[in-house]
Amino acid sequence: MTSGIFDNLTGATEKSDPIALVQREARRPLPRRFYSDAKVEARDGRFVVALDGKTVRTPRRELFSLPTGPSAEAVCAEWAAQEQTIDPATMPMTRIVNSALDGVAQAMGAVASEIAKYAASDVLCYRAVEPDTLVELERAAWDPVLDWADEALGARFVLAKGVMFVDQPAAALAAVEKAVQAYDTPIALACLHTMTTLTGSAVLALAVARGQMSVASAWAAAHVDEDYEMQLWGQDEEALERRAKGWREMDAAARLLMLVSN
């Protein structure tokens, strides 16, 4: 029963991108909460979530387990917080773990390569030509991150004006790929992938993962252009709603990555 709840959210059967469906909202009626107690149990050196004593399974029937007690406690808290119904949209860590265990674990190389490919067209490298206000906002938010990538990762990027594609140096792309390879467990890699796709930037994701930026700062940097447009033309409620959902995923991925890494 615990598996089926997340079948439409984890992308367990999606072969082309094992965690592309992490953010999909459930289209069917929410199931009723069927358990009274959620707690963490230690099993063979890992930690599982038990609902009324029965361990949670992924949609592919893998044991839902995490490498550290704090990470399991954080995920367990999502289960404990459910009320009369179970809403997977309010359980971003659970969804990331499901995707990691059912998809990423079988495609580690492909997922790592996909993250690294974002560096080839990283959002931080594509700069506005005008107006001057936006040019300065992008420079102030993005240049320090690219300077860090150069110094810490050995990845020196080329900037482009406008949206015309620019080839990045092979050495920069190789440096990013090497940095991504350090996240060599399914859950850690799934977290990094989530942050990359949500921001459009492998550099921002790595900066958060390495503690160079707070997750809130990275999220703000990823939305410089959108915020500028809203200041000019007014707030877009649909865009703000999408951003709020994305932020919950981003924050969950960053926190989960920290918890599984310590």
Q: What is the pLDDT of residue 8?
A: 43
What percent of the chain has pLDDT above 90?
Answer: 84
For residue 57, what is the DSSP state? B
**Confidence grade of residue 239 (pLDDT, cut at 50, 70, 90):** confident
pLDDT, tens only, 246-257: 999 999 999 999
How many residues are present in the chain?
262
Q: 19 vs 65, which has greater pLDDT?
A: 65
pLDDT, tens only, 122-162: 999 999 999 999 999 999 999 999 999 999 999 999 999 98
Domains of the chain: 4-90 (3.30.2180.10), 108-261 (1.10.3580.10)
Q: What is the pLDDT of residue 25?
A: 46
The neighbour count for residue 61, using CB atoms within 10 Å, is: 10
Strand partners, 39: 50
**Confidence grade of residue 105 (pLDDT, cut at 50, 70, 90):** very high
**Confidence grade of residue 2 (pLDDT, cut at 50, 70, 90):** low
Cα-based angle 134, 140, 143 (whole degrees, multiple of 5): 115
pLDDT, tens only, 38-94: 999 999 999 999 999 999 999 999 999 999 999 999 999 999 999 999 999 999 999
Q: Which of 148, 157, 197, 155 is nearest to 177 (CA)?
A: 155
Q: Kindly report the three-state secondary structure assignment for every residue of 58-102.
A: CCCCCECEECCHHHHHHHHHHHHCCCCECCHHHCHHHHHHHHHHH
Q: What is the pLDDT of residue 6?
A: 67
Mean pLDDT of the chain: 91
Helix count and strand count (H, E) for the chain: 11, 6
What pTM was computed for the model? 0.90
Strand partners, 55: 50
Single-letter code of the amino acid located at 229: E
Q: Which of 260, 198, 262, 249 is nearest to 78 (CA)?
A: 249
How large is the average pLDDT for residues 189-198? 98
Interatomic CA distance for residues 220 and 46, integer angstroms: 35
**Confidence grade of residue 235 (pLDDT, cut at 50, 70, 90):** confident
Interatomic CA distance for residues 16 and 74, integer angstroms: 29
Single-letter code of the amino acid located at 52: D
Q: 11 vs 205, which has greater pLDDT?
A: 205
Q: Kindly report the three-state secondary structure assignment for every residue of 90-141.
A: HCHHHHHHHHHHHCHHHCHHHHHHHHHHHHHHCHHHEECCCCHHHHHHHHHH
SS3 content of the chain, % helix, strand, coil (to 5): 60, 10, 35
3-class SS of residue 166 = coil
Q: What is the pLDDT of residue 121?
A: 96
Task: Say if residue 19's pLDDT is above 70.
Answer: no
Q: Which of 87, 12, 121, 116 is nearest to 57 (CA)?
A: 12
Q: What is the pLDDT of residue 85?
A: 95
Q: What is the pLDDT of residue 5?
A: 64
Interatomic CA distance for residues 91 and 118, integer angstroms: 26
